[in-house]
Amino acid sequence: MKYRLLEHTADLKVEIFGRDLPELFANAAFMLFDVMVDLKQVREVQIEEVKIASADLSELFLDWLRELIFRFSTRGLVTSRVLINILESEPASIDATIYGEPYEPLRHGLKIEVKTPTYHQFAIKQQQDGSWQATVIFDV
């Protein structure tokens, strides 16, 4: 399971899972666009590199989500797949390749518009089995 939706009164609350940190970050990108558009309709015709450095792993995770939302909001980029090239927790940085295409409302649809991840109840932690889990509430 890549993610699951949790009950929340007004916003979007999710738990995201990964066997390791790169998978957690890739599944976060999948979740973001899966709740916004019809991912089956997104082709991989545009490839972009993303490099982010942050204060710590928690900020890096939120900055990653913000960057994907920024690219969607400003350039209309919908992402269907992510390849994590490098992910460091100390210092916190990510180098990733994202695959997608420009947003087409009639073909991709819009399920919900995600605005930003919040700090409210945010958590990212490693589980006892070594896997990772993040809980995030998004403004919608």
Which residue has tokens 């990108």?
29
- What is the Cα–Cα distance from 35 to 113, expressed in whole angstroms? 9
* Three-state SS at 103: coil
Phi then psi for residue 41, to 5 deg, are -95, -5
- Do the beta carbons of residue 46 and residue 99 sit within 8 Å? yes
- pLDDT value for 56: 96
Architecture of domain 3-139 in this structure: 3-Layer(bab) Sandwich (3.55)
Quote the pLDDT of residue 97: 98
Cα 24 to Cα 40: distance, rounded to the nearest angstrom? 21
Task: Render pLDDT for 95-140 as a digit per residue (tens, 0 to 9).
Answer: 999 999 999 999 999 999 999 999 999 999 999 999 999 999 999 9
Query: Closest Cα to residue 120, out of 30, 4, 1, 10?
Result: 10
Give per-residue pLDDT as tens, 38-97. Answer: 999 999 999 999 999 999 999 999 999 999 999 999 999 999 999 999 999 889 999 999
User: For the chain, what are the domain ranges?
Assistant: 3-139
Say yes or no to pLDDT of 8 above 80: no
